[in-house]
Amino acid sequence: MKKTIIGVMGPGANATETDLENAYELGQLIAQEGWVLLTGGRNAGVMDAASKGAKFANGLTIGVLPTNDTSAVSDAVDIAIVTDMGNARNNINVLSSDVVIACGMGAGTASEIALALKNHKKVILLTNHPESKAFFQSLSEDSILIANTPAAAIEMVRGVLTDRH
């Protein structure tokens, strides 16, 4: 039976120290809940840190890769989905996730949040980027939740999953 998948989206090379710490903790907490972690799969930034956190807690990790270059995959990814479709794979990331957590901000992450909203998914923002909160809440007040810590984000995921049933 289909497992619950939580997507963690965030910057690669431009992730901040705080983004990386949050991503690692998110991965760990997601694994502890028994959920599967889905990321963009590369060995960089939030994708890599979240996957490492999940593996530390013995979770299962999916990486949806933009290119056909499997040397770019994070060591902490168990299941590599090779799309070779560049940033168009961002739509697959959000469609495959029961809930999306955006950890940090950048153009790629913004596209994933926007695609998630377009596809009627709930998105939890874990960022202290004030323009992001204002913008995405203006697009869809109901579907954007704001978290200040990884633990709060996980609590919100639990709420979204419960509401669906």
Tell me which residues touch its own copies (CB under 8 A): 1-3, 5, 36, 60, 62, 64, 68, 70, 73, 75, 77-92, 95-96, 105-108, 110-111, 114-115, 117-119, 129, 131-132, 134-135, 138-140
User: Shortest Cβ distance from residue 134 to its own copies (Å)?
Assistant: 5
- In sequence order, which residues have a C-beta less than 8 Å from that of residue 19 and are 6 or more positions away? 10, 11, 45, 46, 49, 103, 104
CB closer to its own copies out of 52 and 153: 52
CB closer to its own copies out of 86 and 162: 86
103 within 8 A of 26, measured Cβ to Cβ: yes
Quick one: 92 exposed, middle or buried, by C-beta within 10 A (0-12, 13-18, 19+)?
Answer: middle
User: Shortest Cβ distance from residue 22 to its own copies (Å)?
Assistant: 19
Orientation angle between helical segments 17-32 and 150-164, nearest 10 degrees:
40
CB closer to its own copies out of 32 and 140: 140
85 within 8 A of 107, measured Cβ to Cβ: no
User: Shortest Cβ distance from residue 63 to its own copies (Å)?
Assistant: 8
